Amino acid sequence: MTVHDSLLALMPRRLLAELKAIGARRHFADGQVIHTQQTMSVGLSIVLHGRVCFGLYTESGDYYLTAILGAGHCFGEATLFADRPRAYHADAFGDTEILSLTQRQFDHLYKREPRFSRAVTATVTQRLYEALDFSDDLRHRSVEQQIVRLLSRVQRLGGFGDGVLPMRQQDLVFSLGVSRARVCQALDRLRAAGVLETRYRTIVMLASVNG
Amino acid sequence: MTVHDSLLALMPRRLLAELKAIGARRHFADGQVIHTQQTMSVGLSIVLHGRVCFGLYTESGDYYLTAILGAGHCFGEATLFADRPRAYHADAFGDTEILSLTQRQFDHLYKREPRFSRAVTATVTQRLYEALDFSDDLRHRSVEQQIVRLLSRVQRLGGFGDGVLPMRQQDLVFSLGVSRARVCQALDRLRAAGVLETRYRTIVMLASVNG
DNA sequence: CATAGAATGTCTATAAATAGACAATTAAGA
DNA sequence: TCTTAATTGTCTATTTATAGACATTCTATG
């Protein structure tokens, strides 16, 4: 299994204090919107504590969760380097604190502090190759295995040590691009195999299986 | 459509000369192996001219092309930041020249020259968000549309301005995870729609369609 | 120039996924 | 507490994809 470190995990601790001194810290209550899709806001955000849910709204107004990032992870890199709008809708899961750097603040620190730039590049690189891995091998696995991999990733990136993931089956339907009936069937089998349990709006991973 | 710049396109021209002075330049003939899968070699490589094909070997010994990178693009970032082996088999497509930086050379330049580190981060970030985009929306499209998107990406990253892509249908089968019959059917329809032509080991894009 | 291996085009019986409907369950708000 | 909207579980007819076989076409190699 691929290991992916968060931005903060890749930085010396000293740098975090510096980041906090430079950037703006914002608090969000559970469910509060952090930014909406397509917004042109620019800046790097770092999750100090809590979690951020990323999702997409379809043309028909439905919402789908695509990722959850826990403490230490960053997002918004693409707005700094690619002049892109926010690709996903983001809102807080539980009480959450976000550290934000403006483009100017980021650029200054990036130029002055190689350990910071190095950590940024490292985390983005790891995410890129993990994503390539993921899509290359997901296509050759059963829906059951795809679900396990997807959930394992959410568990790891979101820091859900207990395996209790706030996901709807509909989110899996969207992420995997198969029918709801197929997802239900696959979950049945995974339940029977003792891999997971399902609850209302919740999936519980029973072991750190890497299928 | 997402725009993705190569590493060299993101760097001031002056820096390229410096890179050439620092790194090692290696020439490869058509089809020559650049590195094999799972190798633990470390270093950043930049395509100076020519192209590099990336692929995977399955357990049964079959080979599948997964990407082609043309002049200006870099690869091997993951070996620098993630202690990972080479994820793909790489060999030259046509006469190709590669500029290689060792970890030490890379680290030194990265620390000393923010324009270099910035270009590296920018290109990796762009590739990450493009990959995320790609996998999020590919799952909700028809096989026909998936093929067009895939081929458009190969065309762009590989610098195939004329649309003549050195790909087998088997490569599409692997990349999309559907049966060969389904790929044949989809290609039939795309041919009928005037989107592409197929030849032996070759697919020709007839227009820069972004389906 | 001949030949063998590789790639492509096509078909059929079989297997699998899908849309759509409906009932049962759950949680959140009045 | 009651009510309502959202979510989940399940079923069926229909559509679609699949594996596997076979013939054909193409190219590299001798």
B108 C-beta less than 7 Å away from strand C = no
What whole-number distance in Å separates Cα of residue B123 and Cα of residue B118? 9
Exposure b/e, B116-143, CB count within 10 A at least 16 = b = bbbbbbbbbbbbbbbbbebbbebbeeeb
Least confidently predicted of A23-32, A91-100, A202-211, B117-126: A202-211
Find the CB nearest A110 among B77, B87, B114: B114
**Residue reference for tokens 């951020």:** A52
**pLDDT score recorded for residue B208:** 55
Question: pLDDT confidence of A210, banded at 50, 70, 90?
Answer: very low
**pLDDT score recorded for residue A205:** 97
- Please write the tens of the pLDDT for every residue from B147-203: 999 999 999 999 999 999 999 999 999 999 999 999 999 999 999 999 999 999 999
* Residues of chain B (125-184) having a beta carbon less than 7 angstroms from strand D: 143, 178-182
**pLDDT score recorded for residue B77:** 96
- Please write the tens of the pLDDT for every residue from B4-18: 799 999 999 999 999
Question: pLDDT confidence of A211, banded at 50, 70, 90?
Answer: very low
Residue A80 phi, psi dihedral angles, 5° rounding: -80, -35
Residues of chain A positioned with their CB less than 8 A from the CB of B82: 3, 122, 125-126, 129
**pLDDT score recorded for residue B209:** 46
Residues 14 to 73 of B: which have CB under 8 A from any A CB? 56, 66
* Mean pLDDT of the B64-87 span: 96
**pLDDT score recorded for residue B33:** 96
CA dihedral angle for residue A63, residue A66, residue A71, residue A72, rounded to 10 degrees: -130
Q: Which is it for strands A164-165 and A44-57: parallel, antiparallel or unpaired?
A: unpaired
| Selected residue of B2, B80, B81 to mutate for chain A interface (largest A Cβ count, 10 A) | B81
Which of these, B160, B185, B156, lies nearest to B173 by C-alpha position? B185
What whole-number distance in Å separates Cα of residue B196 and Cα of residue B163? 9
CB distance from B117 to chain A under 8 Å? yes
* Bigger pLDDT: A61 vs B121: B121
